[in-house]
Amino acid sequence: MNFRWRYRASLLLLLGMFSVVLFAIFNVFNKPAYFFTFVVLLSIAVLLVVALVYLWERQLHLMEVFFLGAKHNDFTQGFSKNALGRELADALNTLANKFQQDMSGQRAEVALLTTIIRQAPIAIITFDTDGRIHIFNNAAAALLDIKAPSGVNDIVVDGTGLHNILSSTASKKNTVKITQDGIALNLKFSATKILLLDSEQTVVTIENIGREIHQAEYEAWRNLIGVLTHEIMNSITPIVSLADSCKDILSQEALLESSKDALAQELNDVRKGAEMIANRSQGIMNFVDGYRRLSKVPLPQKQAISLQRLFDDFELLYELRLAKKSIELTIVVNPSDLKINADRQLIEQVLINLINNAIDACDEGGKICILAKLHKSNVLLEVDDNGCGMATQVATQVFTPFYTTKREGTGIGMSLVRQIMHAHGGQVALESTMNKGTKVSLVF
């Protein structure tokens, strides 16, 4: 029988019997001849009340057992079909089994995640607002040479506490250089706060990025040395050749005995050689000056800049040059009152380089679009053209100092753009497709 109907039937039966007994008690009340009957009926009434209370409390007890099991994550106790009925017992047992399976799965997942965290190659530390450490994995112990610290105050890196390292930068990211067993390490600290069961936890990851830094430095130096060697050799080789030619001419013993016309011709050759030497020497000086400019980008003096007003000024500045090539310039600022916090002179230098490159890349009737918009939490500036574009191998070298494909180019324009954006804490990216155009994105 369904538990609900069994419960109702039992309840109605007890209530019915209790009503009959009460009616009988009322009839024999104050009748001395039925005193014994009165006592028996009263006892039966008490027993019926006890039965009603037991029926009610049995259900409460079973529910209490179930919910206490849920509270303490204990679902090992089954529920009898005789006590509850087949349907309710099956439902509670199924629910208890499901909870037990879910808990077993969660325990397995926690055990797996704990193992992964403890064996992860990146150092991971978690601690609460009181500084108590909850996770300190094997990589952290090996990297920091600390065994099982109880609190965050026990973690000291190169004489500096972990709290001080994490609070030393607003972005909660910092790199610390330390020496461990005679080996220099570059440790990058990153911290993230999470809310776990109403408790704030700080998750700290520590990476040794020394190898990546050294590799990047090596690549930068290799590229720079390659460019320097190429540029200097291109200038020095003709200078040496011209100097040798001039020396040979001036070393001729019969030079002064030559005819006036022959002497004039030789001296003219020497003069031309000297002019070419001077020109190439000036080229080297310009090259060195470009290197100096690139290596001495001033610290930005930031202020609020209206992008709409800035772009309007550039539209006026380039009006004649754009008209000469019939280039259409489109400016879009969304929202129109969008501003950036930057050094106006340095950002103007960035835009001058980008717009000049776009104009040089465009043919007659080309199009250039300057777009400024909000992108997530950043301001995005894009300079897009439909010019000749660049091959992939050229695009990958664009930001290399002194690399240029222009006959009169210095090769420092895009490098300077990257330097200025780096000084502003921003990023620059370039996308280019041959014969389709180029887009340069600035992220503030």
Residue 176 near residue 197, CB atoms below 8 Å: no
Average pLDDT rounded to a whole number, residues 317-332:
86
Q: Mean pLDDT check: name the lowest of 11-25, 148-162, 299-313.
A: 148-162
Residues in the chain, overall count? 444
Cβ-defined contacts of 423-426 (< 8 Å, 24+): 423/297, 423/299, 423/300, 423/346, 424/300, 424/302, 424/342, 424/343, 424/346, 424/347
The arithmetic mean of pLDDT across residues 225-230, rounded, is 66
Task: Provide the b/e sequence for 331-369 (b: ≥16 CB within 10 Å).
Answer: bebeeeebbbebbbebbbbbbebbbebbbebbeeebebb
Task: Supply 109's token pair.
Answer: 């997942």
Q: How many CA atoms lie within 13 A of 51 on its CB side?
A: 16
Which of 16-30, 56-70, 305-319, 339-353 comes out lowest in average pLDDT?
A: 56-70
pLDDT digit string (tens) for 4-57?
666 667 778 878 887 887 877 777 777 777 777 778 878 888 888 888 887 777
Whether 205 shows a pLDDT value over 70: the answer reads: yes
pLDDT at residue 172 greater than cutoff 60: no
Judgement on whether residues 145 and 252 belong to the same structural domain of the protein: no
User: What pLDDT is attached to residue 1?
Assistant: 47
- Asked which of 223-232, 363-372, 424-433 is least confident by mean pLDDT, the reply is 223-232
Q: Which residue has the tokens 């996770």?
A: 135
What stretches of 116-155 adopt beta strand conformation (E)?
Answer: 123-128, 133-136
Distant-in-sequence contacts of 266-274, Cβ < 8 A, 24+ apart: 269/245, 270/246, 273/242, 273/243, 273/245, 273/246, 274/246
CA atoms of 273 and 252, how far apart (whole Å): 16
Task: Label residue 164 by pLDDT band (50, 70, 90).
Answer: low
How far apart (Å, rounded) are the C-alpha atoms in residues 322 and 255? 56
Specify the higher pLDDT residue, 98 or 166: 98
Same domain, 427 and 346: yes
Residue type, 266: E
Helical residues (DSSP H) of 188-259, grouped into ranges: 210-250
End-to-end distance of the chain based on CA atoms, in angstroms?
A: 72
Q: Tally the domains of the chain.
A: 4
**Average pLDDT, stretch 322-333?**
88
Q: Which of 61, 59, 60, 47 is nearest to 14 (CA)?
A: 47
Question: Is pLDDT at 119 greater than 70 in this prediction?
Answer: yes
Omega before 335 cis (within 30°)?
A: yes
Could you tell me the residue range of the domain that residue 326 belongs to?
A: 303-443
Query: How many Å apart are CA 386 and CA 426, to the nearest integer?
Result: 25
The domain boundary, picked from 189, 208, 227, lies at: 208
Quote the mean pLDDT of the chain: 76
The residue ranking higher by pLDDT, 142 or 172, is 142
Residues 285 and 324 in one domain: no
Question: For residue 171, what pLDDT is reported?
Answer: 43
| Residues 115-127, mean pLDDT to the nearest whole number | 83
Name the pLDDT band for 82 (thresholds 50, 70, 90): low
pLDDT at position 108: 80
Query: Best-predicted range by mean pLDDT among 97-106, 224-233, 254-263, 320-329?
Result: 320-329
Q: Is residue 112 part of a domain?
A: no
* 190 and 283 both lie in a single domain: no
Q: For the chain, how long is the longest CA-to-CA vector?
A: 174
Kindly tell me if the per-residue pLDDT of 234 is higher than 70: no
In angstroms, the CA 260 to CA 95 distance is 117
Indicate whether 108 belongs to any domain: no
139-174 exposure pattern, b = at least 16 Cβ within 10 A, e = fewer: bbbebbeeeebeebeebebeeeebeebbeeeeebeb
**Same domain? 37 vs 99:** yes
**What is the C-alpha to C-alpha distance for residues 397 and 219, in angstroms, rounded to an integer?**
12
Of all residues in the chain, the percent with pLDDT exceeding 70 is: 68
Q: Give 292 or 195, the one with higher predicted confidence.
A: 195
Domain shared by 265 and 337, yes or no = no
Q: What is the mean pLDDT of residues 412-430?
A: 83
- CA separation for the pair 188, 176 (Å, rounded): 6
Choose one of 253, 273, 295: the last residue of a domain.
Answer: 295
Comparing 44 with 369, the larger pLDDT belongs to 369
pLDDT of residue 25: 76
* Domain CATH for 355: 3.30.565.10
Evaluate if residue 225 carries a pLDDT over 50.
Answer: yes
Are both 316 and 437 inside the same structural domain? Answer: yes
Across 311-316, average pLDDT: 84
> What number is the average pLDDT over the span 419-440?
87
pLDDT for 122: 84
CATH of the domain at 195: 3.30.450.20
Instruction: Judge if 349 and 411 occupy the same domain.
Output: yes
**For 64-73, 297-306, 388-397, 424-433, which range has the lowest pLDDT when averaged over its residues?**
64-73
Say if residue 357's pLDDT is above 60: yes
- pLDDT higher than threshold 50 for residue 283: yes
Cβ atoms 336, 413 nearer than 8 A: no
Residue 434: pLDDT band with limits 50, 70, 90 = confident
Is 160 part of any domain?
A: yes
- Of 208, 235, 256, the residue that ends a domain is 208
Find the radius of gyration of the CA atoms of the chain. Answer: 43
Q: Could you tell me which of 432, 363, 424 has the C-alpha nearest to residue 399? A: 432
Q: Give me the helices (H) in 251-381, please.
A: 260-295, 307-317, 319-324, 344-361
Residues 434 and 400 in one domain: yes
- Whether 83 and 44 share a structural domain: yes
Mean pLDDT of 378-388: 89
Same domain, 91 and 134: no
Q: DSSP 3-state assignment of 194?
A: strand
pLDDT tier for residue 347 given thresholds of 50, 70 and 90: confident
Would the pLDDT of 170 be above 50?
no
Looking at the fold, whether 267 and 322 belong to one and the same domain comes out as no
